Structure 1
């Protein structure tokens, strides 16, 4: 890593906010939001870029919420408010990212993000050492195939850490920060998150082959690095590779034993085709498939008060049924990524319908497409993110999307015409 980071180049307000808001603990996330709102309230006044997507989703949620109050009554209120707060938090976060990147110099931005990354890596190192001492083994993965679950860094779980590290890996590799990139790769592999790792490799290979403008020799390097990573991963934790291949084979067979993740997608399609309302605006936020829907049910987290629990009929008949019943079968009783109904695609289609999908396409992916010609690593990160959306409700975690959007906006800033002119001017002054 870099020899040192000058303290005067660190934006400590933003890094404290970033460390708090990406934590697994929801209370710390809220502290981070209050902290940044008190110190930088003006950031939320300008609605631009990705912030437009969040505003429109909030408006759609409010409009569909009115309809759902009429249909389902006041019992829906808690879920409605949780969804409203979650999307509002996402809006606040992207506003603060825009504010940070607009007002700070490249030196300050890089130093702040680098320090955040170093802190994340140090936590992984601590977790690895702790596990090694617990198992009394240099390679704890040889003792337990679940060792990677402990490598969660500052985040809620190892899957979040793996995805975040994949974004850092792309960012640092494209900017030739090879030491940082190497540490990103090591942390990524240490998580042993098979579903995410497979999607990452597929996303990289797809990006290299179809829309990358990098030289052919670098394409070969990336493909080679991917193959080497597979070999290393297979030798360190072969049981995880065998586990993943078993589920991939079942997906390809598409028979009765298909993983419940696939079943959940069919449930969403069936629901959307059941009525005009479900097709165009969905069941409403927190009513079909989302982290809020599961939390509000009272069956997903221990801390949610049972007296406030609520589940819509659409949720009970579909994805909650998978969670509560389908895991308890004679041939696959595992609560894992392959069986969980969690997916952003289930959420956007099931809860917001075609209108929500259109908002996402035009104002989220559309914003990326608008800046496509100047993007570098973000093209690869976007391809991977579309795959990661298969795995969970990442917008409701305030970690994966926070880092993706921070690095995306940084990519746009670094390659914008204005920034390049500023950098050229600085070189002339020197």
Structure 2
């Protein structure tokens, strides 16, 4: 019997979406571990199943999740890590994280196999709408605090928000904004291929609110790839709409983010300054002139003469433009007033001079381990490369110097991971009991030293591009070449083997392969569960012939 209310049918809504999947996703992607545990308890109580189905060939789940446990144990034994009793909780927590990830992907696979694709499609629509609502609520809260309709341009409160506003748009995960950005990027790709313009706009609008620069760059590159190679005409039109949303947001809502990106790029390429390029060109010209023939030298002289005339003309035009601007300035008895526009996004403009608690923790850590952190005492601190690149170099240098440790790594929590930073007791990636602090010497002299050297400094150094977080770095340094091969072959390869059949799954897979350079995503226990859900779903869609949501043959052939 169906219980009906005006405009509401309980039976209809019960079958409208996979509510168990939705509840699981909403709980599991929450940043707090208790929510993740509750999510797993909920799904395993409602569906008790531990038949993982691991096989060497045609495995039901990625073998990576099975192989990582023996590799971790072997590494810990070979490196004699258990001699230090404080390492035991670090090692135990690392294995717990892998176990949670394994339990999650098993249930995700069961959900995909047990539901039809239309139901999952509607479930994902609800999921991304909820995330957009929470993201809008984050922004609304900031607008209430700042009393500004556009906090991205609000320069009060010592620029607490301004270009950093996107950092507080966390969405349903309540995690860092890059987590929200990655989830929204998945949604954009998914709804482009599902030809759902409204939901694509919802996800894209939420993505731009985060202004996560590195994620946005990776997303735009992936979007450009599918625009060229793997979309129909209608889907290309949706991509154009997505790009327009991004461009308008950068131009009208937060133009300072665009300026910030330009200046970061310029600082990263400071060796390519115009004056150096000019000097190099002049040297090359002088060297070339000595070997030219008489006619070639005359032709070169004429060319230089014409170039000089063009330069003079261009300079004169600039002077005329400057003269017009000067005439538009207020005139006083002492001349015209001109106040140059400041670089408002630089730390010097908004630094209050106060010591923040998190930075003080880093300085306290440096003081305790002063003799073991050489990079932290380099003055003046002028890094030649971003910290993320330097971290990769550190890992390779260490493994080259210790080739035996490169096979199975140094063990979980010993070189580059979320738990390694957390166990250092400096407040990085969460709190840790002071009485159980554990720091491996290799981690101390490399990634911890590198991180502290950047993030204990002023705000201009505390950027995502300067932290050494990377999934690839984590797996290579702590699980060795065996772990990295397992990741590439038995995780990425597990999904990539279906690349010819994937549609929205391919850009999502490319996105994940890229974000592995940016953070410790397996330890985040959030983004990858949505990734795995979407890839399992796409594989199911493309390997079944009687699905309503499958792209038609005519659409697949209608490429521009």
User: Normalising by the residue count of structure 1, what TM-score does the alignment of the two structures yield?
Assistant: 0.90
Which of residues 307, 314, 320 is equivalent to 2:448? 320
**Where does 1:12-411 land on structure 2 (aligned, <5 Å)?**
12-47=19-54, 48-69=59-80, 72-143=83-154, 144-155=162-173, 156-209=175-228, 212-215=229-232, 219=236, 222=239, 225-226=242-243, 229-253=246-270, 256-299=383-426, 300-301=428-429, 303-329=431-457, 334-411=461-538
8 Å contact from structure 1 (residues 203, 387) kept in 2: no
Q: Is the 8 A contact 1:272 1:349 kept in 2?
A: no
After TM superposition, give the deviation of residue 351 of structure 1 in Å: 1.1
Q: How many residues align?
A: 419
Residues 257-310 of structure 1, C-alpha deviation per residue, up to 9 Å, x if partnerless? 422112111111111211222222221111110111111221225532111221
Distance change >3 Å, CA 242–CA 118, structure 1 → 2: same
Native 8 Å contact 2:91 2:412 kept in 1: yes
The aligned counterpart of 1:420 is 545
Asked if the contact 2:73–2:411 (Cα under 8 Å) also holds between the matched residues in 1, the reply is no
Deviation digits for residues 398-428 of structure 1 (CA, Å, limit 9, x no counterpart): 1111111111111111111xx223559xxxx
* Structure 2 residues not aligned, in runs of 5+: 1-7, 155-161, 272-381, 550-560
Give the 3 Å change call, closer, same or farther, for CA 118–231 of structure 1 in structure 2.
Answer: closer
**Secondary structure at 2:546 match in 1:** helix
Where does residue 428 of structure 1 map in the other structure?
none
Q: What whole-Å deviation, never above 9, does each CA across 1:368-402 have from its counterpart, x for those lacking one?
A: 22111110011111222222122111111111111
Give the alignment's Cα RMSD to 1 decimal: 2.6
* Conserved? CA contact 1:151–1:190, under 8 Å: yes
Contact 1:51–1:91 under 8 Å retained in 2? no
Q: Post-superposition shift, 1:229?
A: 1.9
Query: C-alpha deviations, 1:27-71, integer Å up to 9, x for none?
Result: 212222222232223055433444321111122112222223457
Instruction: Give yes or no for contact 2:27–2:39 (8 Å, CA) kept in 1.
Output: yes
Q: CA deviation at 1:321?
A: 0.7
Aligned residues of 2:492 and 2:513 also touching (Cα < 8 A): no
Alignment partner of 1:420: what SS?
coil
Structure 1: gaps spanning 5 or more residues: 425-430
SS at match of 1:310: coil
Structure 2 Cα separation of the partners of residues 278 and 207 of structure 1:
40
Summarize the Cα distance change of 1:224–1:23 in structure 2 as closer, same or farther, 3 Å threshold: closer
Deviation of residue 195 (structure 1)? Answer: 1.3
1: CA distance, partners of 2:266 / 2:404: 36
Distance 1:226 1:395, change over 3 A: same
1:6 to partner: Cα distance: 2.8
Tell me which moved more, 153-162 or 294-303.
294-303
CA–CA separation in structure 2 for the residues paired with 1:412 and 1:50: 13
Conserved in 2, the CA contact under 8 Å of 1:268 and 1:350? yes
Q: Can you list the C-alpha shifts for 1:311-330, whole angstroms capped at 9, x where unaligned?
A: 11111111111222343457
SS of 1:51's equivalent in the other structure is coil
* Structure with the largest fraction of helix: 1
Once the two structures are superposed, what CA deviation does each residue of 1:158-195 show, in whole Å capped at 9, x if it has no partner?
A: 11001100001100111101111110000000011111
Structure label with greater radius of gyration: 2
Partner SS, residue 464 of structure 2: coil
Measured after TM superposition, the shift of residue 333 of structure 1 is 5.3
What CA distance in whole angstroms lies between the structure 2 residues aligned with 1:118 and 1:190? 15
